[in-house]
Amino acid sequence: MSRSEELFAQAQLSIPGGVNSPVRAFNGVGGSPIFIESADGAYMFDADGKRYIDYVGSWGPMILGHNHAAIREATHKAVDRGLSFGTPTSTEITMAEKIKSLVPSIEKVRMVNSGTEATMTAIRLARGYTGRDKILKFEGCYHGHADALLVKAGSGALTLGVPNSPGIPEDFAKHTLTVTFNDIDSIRAIFEELGDQIATIIVEPVAGNMNCIPPVPGFLEGLRSICDEYGSVLIFDEVMTGFRVSRGGAQEYYNVIPDLTTLGKVIGGGMPVGAFGGKREIMDYIAPVGPVYQAGTLSGNPVAMAAGFAALSQLHNVNLYEGLYDLVDRLVNGLQERADAAGIPFTTNRAGSMFGFFFSGDGPITSYQQATQCNMQHFKHFYHSMLKQGVYLAPSAFEAGFMSAAHSDADIQATLDAAEKAFAELKAL
């Protein structure tokens, strides 16, 4: 028995499923999760001392690689000044100004502690601002685990097959309309019927919780014009795509500007941080200026702000994103070539430094329905073969992959060599 297996057995005695977040439990691929002891650059090291090339990056935050020196040092310095004060601090202003400079559609921003808090409050704010109850989300998009948003959700909820969780009153869920990602006609049809009751459309501008599905041309533009026409608030949930798809997020990459943006992951440099922000007029509906309530004992925590600010400050490096895009190109093109050579039906998607791969021969994957119809047996076997060879991918077919600036050409080559072996094994199944 490996040390990870021993720890997993022990963990299950005192933690539900042995994990503090469901997708970590390997339900999507079977087997026992890997317990990590430390991480550095592109690598993670498990409890048995084995090294992995990591394409999960703590589910997105680690765009600069693990244990980045500037973030570590800024965090240490903040720790020396005290862990939390419950008062305003000047670092919160610096952080807010940094976010505004990177994402210009954000005129005001409020810091929170997770992506879930950010989206939950953005929805409340959109409802308070418009005086409407209904919200519109997309099947397979995940926006955290707030009640109103855990309806036909992606990520762990998709992997576990419980898109509608018990514990959410039907009365809450009934205000959540669910539509098909990348299908603008179905959204227009709903708005023609109910448009004056819809407070907001919330969307992952690149869907990253049903694998990686970029928007088809015209989709985000269509959402923008529908919201303008009906006076609904357009929320881009950029918890995953923010600072990731490009420096200014998906809104910069696709040049479509939302009313509100939610942020998480990269914004905290690895610390628990989220944020929501946008148009001044809407943000001023939040307490204490406005009537919509939201608060947080540890929000804007000085240590978290120091880590986040250090991470965001690194993003100005001129070659960062071009370097990331090149690495993703090399990886996904290399995977495709090797799958083709082995005769394995396979296709890939990418958006900036996010990528996805699908065991499917049905051409480009643009929908939730296609994503859920891929060959799961191939995925699971490929997953475990890669893991055995020291490549750590997301343990679910419904998660995006993330590249970091710490990955080297040699890491990509080692990953492709491992994939070549894995594809050959699939052929022999």
Binding mask 102-121 for ligand PMP (x = CB under 6 A): ------------xxx--x--
Q: Which is nearer to ligand PMP, 116 or 349 (CB)?
A: 116
Q: Which is nearer to ligand PMP, 392 or 423 (CB)?
A: 392
CA distance 381 to 425: 8
Binding mask 377-416 for ligand PMP (x = CB under 6 A): ----------------------------------------
59 sits near ligand PMP (criterion: CB under 6 A):
yes
- Tokens 């120091």, residue? 306
DSSP assignment letter at 17: G
CA distance 286 to 353: 33
Catalytic residue among 142, 253, 254, 383: 142
CA distance 309 to 312: 5
Catalytic residue among 98, 108, 137, 265: 265
CA distance 200 to 17: 35
- Tokens 């963990």, residue? 11
Centre a 10 Å sphere on the Cβ of residue 51 and count the other Cβ atoms it contains. 14
Q: Is the distance from CB of 426 to CB of 378 less than 8 angstroms? A: yes
Closest contact distance (angstroms) between CB of 49 and ligand PMP is 29
Based on the residue annotation, tell me whether 142 is a catalytic residue of this protein. yes
CA distance 223 to 139: 15
138 sits near ligand PMP (criterion: CB under 6 A):
no
44 sits near ligand PMP (criterion: CB under 6 A):
no
Q: Which is nearer to ligand PMP, 66 or 137 (CB)?
A: 137
Binding mask 250-289 for ligand PMP (x = CB under 6 A): --------------x---------x---------------
> How many distinct helices (H) and strands (E) make up the chain?
15, 14
Binding mask 282-321 for ligand PMP (x = CB under 6 A): ----------------------------------------
Based on the residue annotation, tell me whether 265 is a catalytic residue of this protein. yes
Indicate the SS3 state at residue 200. Answer: strand
Residues 6+ apart with CB under 8 A from 364: 347, 349
Centre a 10 Å sphere on the Cβ of residue 2 and count the other Cβ atoms it contains. 14
CA distance 260 to 233: 7
Q: Give the binding range for ligand PMP (CB under 6 A) out of 48-56, 237-245, 291-299, 401-409.
A: 237-245
Q: Give the binding range for ligand PMP (CB under 6 A) out of 76-84, 88-96, 138-146, 226-234.
A: 138-146
Q: Is the distance from CB of 47 to CB of 36 less than 8 angstroms? A: yes
Based on the residue annotation, tell me whether 368 is a catalytic residue of this protein. no
Binding residues among 199-218 for ligand PMP as defined by CB under 6 A:
204, 208-209
The residues binding ligand PMP (CB under 6 A) are 59, 114-116, 119, 142-144, 155, 204, 208-209, 237, 239-240, 264, 274
